[in-house]
Amino acid sequence: MHTYVYRLNVLLTEAITLLALMCAIASLSDKLNVASPSADIQVLHINWFHKQRNGNDEVSLTMNVSADLKSTFTWNTKQVFVFLAAEYETEKNYLNQISLWDAIIPSKEQAKFSYHTINKYRFTDQGNSLRGKKYNLTLHWHVMPKTGKMFSDRIVTTGHSLPEEYI
């Protein structure tokens, strides 16, 4: 500690070590947060439902996605990434998950939303087994922290099914 360079070195090392500790504890504090989110997804209309030229089924839906994800935000949250996935079973695959829509929620105030939208991404099957198919619409979200571990969770809404014949 006899020169100022030595003292500066010690100070910076200690300061950065303490900063790392603060960030680790901040991330741990996220576990204390008990989230109580809610979501409601309705399929309002099926715009088209046909077989593409390559033989795969395709559906276009108009949906109303509303959710309240305010309680998932903590002081250590940068943003919440939310996406809607259609999940169903076919003979070929035990689980098919297709992302239909996603959004980034940058702040707590915008976490209660209601979107009336058509699916952002194509709902296409591997094959042509969508006629009369029962599927779940699941809202997934990833809580992205400012520092530390990312948490993710989901809400499943069941009871949706596609028509028996192409439209």
Q: Which of 28, 44, 64, 75 binds another protein (CB under 8 A)?
A: 75
* Interface with another protein in residues 146-165 (CB under 8 A): 146-147
Whichever of 18 and 46 has its CB closer to another protein, that residue is 18
Report which DSSP code applies to 93. -
Sequence-distant (6+) residues with CB within 8 A of 37 are 67, 68, 69, 70, 71, 72, 141, 153, 155
For the bound state, the minimum distance from the C-beta of residue 111 to another protein, rounded and expressed in Å, comes to 15
E strand or H helix that includes residue 40 = strand 38-51
Quick note: the x/- pattern for another protein over 85-124, rule CB under 8 A, is ----------------------------------------
Measured on CA atoms in the order 114, 119, 120, 125, is the torsion positive or negative? positive
Residue 14 sits in the site that holds another protein (CB under 8 A): yes
